[in-house]
Chains A and B, each alone.
Chain A
Amino acid sequence: MTTRDMTFVALFAALTAACAVFPPFQPPFVPAPIVVQNIGVMLAGSILGARRGSLAMALFVVLVAVGMPLLTGWRGGFGVILGPTGGFILSWVPAAFVVGWLVERGWSRLGFWNLLVFNVIGGISVVYLIGIPWLAAVANMELGKAVKVSTIFIPGDLAKAAIASFAALIVKRSYPLIRA
């Protein structure tokens, strides 16, 4: 990995933290407000690819774990990671990897729709696949119940996948970083 790669990785970890600045937005007909921050997962995967993208998320998660208040609402520390929602945050590392892996394979014919599918698979499915069982285990909940609790976030996550896909395509045009 070159110095430039290391810089990209560090910048995307920092970018994910900086997204905490953007206020949560509340679209109509959606029960939970949408926090902008976890869009960082999709952006890191879509723009940096599997290896660098997941590394950026790993750095972010590590810094949250060791006590930097980087999550929306100035939260951080081991408590967040070990708590009921910790799985959702830990999942960002494999999620960015999966998004990046898919994007690398589809790079030459990348359009909005396939990018959206990649972000839904990696950025949403992987996150839920890890986050929901974790929630069920920590909270002693039945899996079905944990699934139900989590569904309120799906509309917001879909919106984020669309935004991330748009943004990544715009960026790809001026700064193609995966295969220049």
Chain B
Amino acid sequence: MLSLYVPGDSIVHRLPAGPKLLALFAASTALFAVSGIPIHAAELLAVAGLFRAARLPWRDTLHQLRPALIFLVPIFLFHAFVTDWRLGIETVLRILVLLLLAVLVTLTTKLSDMIDVLERALRPLRHVGVNPSKAGMMLSMVIRFIPLMTREAREILEAQRARGLDRSALALLVPLLIKTLKMAGDLSDAIEARGYDPETVAPVWRRWG
């Protein structure tokens, strides 16, 4: 459950994360600069080609797209009735291209590679008080704590369900918050006990997907 990455060795997978992310942002900006159904349809074809090259399973792609697809229908209907059906098609095509590109990058790039890119991208911000290795350290901590917190949340949900309190958001949240704050002390002790110093620290070593 760590990430949505689908392992593979296609050309899209092998492209380094940095250029992929840059390309995604360039494309998402360019998409709003051009208009016309034919050009967006051509883009859709090109993206379909990229998916073919990446050899991704349809199921993963669809799962990520589904929530957005539900959105596309009302957007089209809205335009068809209120403005112009052609504008509806154009808008839907544009969003579809955007989402497909984003899903493509997400499914073909390792999480650790993305975080490495982020850490590198943050480096110029060092002069305005952003510490990239601290940021990288915290991102790793969040990834470690998510399963921990999810388990705590699940246990609390079960305990409150047994008492018939699982409909009460307060009965779920307050114990979870108290637990979190108690854990924070032990966790930060454990981090410092192993010699961590937030002021002078080497970049985090990552080797995972």
Contacts and interface: CB of A to CB of B under 8 A. Distances in A.
Chains A and B share a contact (CB less than 8 Å): yes
Contacts of B153: 18-19, 21-22
A85 B71 contact: yes
A59 B181 contact: no
A129 interface: no
B102 A79 contact: yes
Interface residues of B, number: 73
Interface core residue of B28, B105, B139, B142 (most chain A CB under 10 Å): B142
Contacts of A12: 180
Given A21-B153, A43-B177, A68 B98 contact: no
Contacts of B200: none
Q: Secondary structure of the A side of the interface?
A: helix
Interface in A55-89: 55, 59-60, 62-63, 66-70, 73-85
A9 interface: yes
Nearest to A16: B149
A178 interface: no
Given A78-B105, A82-B98, A83-B95, A36 B148 contact: no
Interface in A10-34: 10-15, 17-23, 25
B5 interface: yes
A145 B192 contact: no
A63 B196 CA distance: 23
Nearest to A2: B198
Interface in B150-209: 150, 152-154, 157, 166-167, 169-170, 172-174, 176-178, 180-181, 183-185, 187-188, 191-192, 196, 198
A83 B92 CA distance: 11
Give the interface SS of chain B, mostly helix, strand, loop or mixed: helix
A8 interface: yes
A4 B103 CA distance: 35
Contacts of B181: 8, 171, 174-175, 177
A70 B198 contact: no
A135 to B, nearest CB: 9
B68 interface: yes
A153 interface: no
B207 to A, nearest CB: 17
B174 A171 contact: yes
B19 interface: no
Contacts of B173: 39, 43, 163-164, 167
A133 B166 CA distance: 36
Nearest to A20: B150
Contact of A18 (B106, B149, B188, B196): B149
Interface stretch (B8-16, B41-49, B51-59, B107-115): B107-115
10 contacts: A3-B196, A6-B137, A6-B138, A11-B187, A17-B150, A21-B154, A59-B139, A68-B4, A139-B78, A163-B173
Given A4-B185, A13-B142, A84-B75, 4 more contacts: A3-B198, A7-B188, A77-B103, A175-B181
Closest A-B pairs by Cβ, 3 of them = A77-B106, A78-B102, A14-B145
